[in-house]
């Protein structure tokens, strides 16, 4: 059984950043430890010992780490604001690899735009996401049919989808992070149009 302490996710776990987990445990493939949930990126200032929710997170994360490997080979997540990508890179830092496959779905980019952004030597595939989920978008992007995985458990489904995503090779235009910030749209209020 793979332990989180032996993987690249260990530091995030120690820092208390792995939240709202749907999956946090060994995967169906040996040596893999998977995580589906949120990664806290910025915390609010804490007063005394009260526990406050993070200011913002990378949400709906799908990832796994391989035992005894220093970096995360694949990760997909959702950012409510494209500008948070810089913070995500600071937080994940040395856990990301130039050879890794990373997808970031953002709420405030044009719904027709898809591009790649390089921060340092790490490349992200950046795609729009509105009124959908990272899971559904990744299934569509990787051409995985839900009937192919319906008999698998959560870890098995996650393994299957992330294995398909590792083969993803679509040459989106590469733009600088700053260009992405200039192109991004206003951040939508999540609570707008919700019944009270």
User: Residue 195 CA to chain centroid, in angstroms?
Assistant: 29
102 φ/ψ angles, rounded to the nearest 5 degrees? -125, 135
- Beta strands 122-128 and 115-119 are antiparallel
pLDDT for the residue numbered 190? 67
Stretch (H or E) spanning 181: helix 177-183
Examine the pLDDT at 196 and tell me if it is beyond 60. no
Examine the pLDDT at 174 and tell me if it is beyond 80. yes
State mean pLDDT over 111-139: 94
The rounded percent of the chain whose pLDDT value lies above 70 is: 96
Rounded CA-CA distance 81/98 in Å is: 23
pLDDT confidence tier of residue 100, bands split at 50, 70 and 90: very high
Rounded CA-CA distance 84/58 in Å is: 8
pLDDT for the residue numbered 78? 98
**140/131: higher pLDDT:** 140
Rounded CA-CA distance 73/102 in Å is: 8
Beta carbons within 10 angstroms of residue 120's beta carbon: 10
**196/115: higher pLDDT:** 115
DSSP state of 70: S
pTM metric for this prediction = 0.93
Strand, helix or coil at 186?
A: coil
pLDDT confidence tier of residue 166, bands split at 50, 70 and 90: very high
- Beta strands 54-66 and 122-128 are unpaired
Rounded CA-CA distance 13/8 in Å is: 10
**49/129: higher pLDDT:** 129
Structure tokens at 158: 């996650």
pLDDT digits (tens, 9 = 90+) for 144-161: 999 999 999 999 999 999
The sign one gets for the Cα dihedral 11, 17, 19, 22 is negative
Examine the pLDDT at 143 and tell me if it is beyond 90. yes
């Amino acid at each position: 059984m793979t332990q989180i302490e032996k993987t690249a996710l260990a530091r995030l776990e120690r820092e208390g950043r792995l939240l709202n987990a749907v999956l946090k445990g060994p995967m169906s493939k040996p040596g893999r430890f998977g995580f589906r949930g949120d990664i806290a990126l910025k915390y609010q200032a804490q007063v005394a010992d009260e526990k406050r929710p993070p200011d913002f997170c990378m949400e709906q994360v799908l990832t796994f780490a391989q035992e005894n490997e220093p970096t995360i080979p694949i990760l997909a997540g959702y950012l409510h604001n494209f500008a948070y990508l810089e913070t995500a890179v600071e937080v994940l830092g040395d856990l990301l690899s130039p050879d890794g496959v990373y997808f970031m779905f953002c709420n405030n980019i044009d719904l027709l735009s898809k591009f790649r952004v390089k921060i340092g030597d790490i490349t992200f595939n950046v795609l729009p996401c509105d009124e959908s989920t990272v899971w559904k978008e990744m299934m569509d992007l990787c051409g995985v049919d839900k009937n192919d995985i319906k008999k698998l458990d959560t870890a098995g489904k996650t393994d299957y989808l992330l294995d398909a995503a590792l083969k993803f090779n679509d040459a989106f235009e590469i733009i600088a992070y700053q260009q992405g910030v200039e192109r991004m749209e206003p951040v939508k209020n999540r609570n707008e149009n919700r019944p009270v």
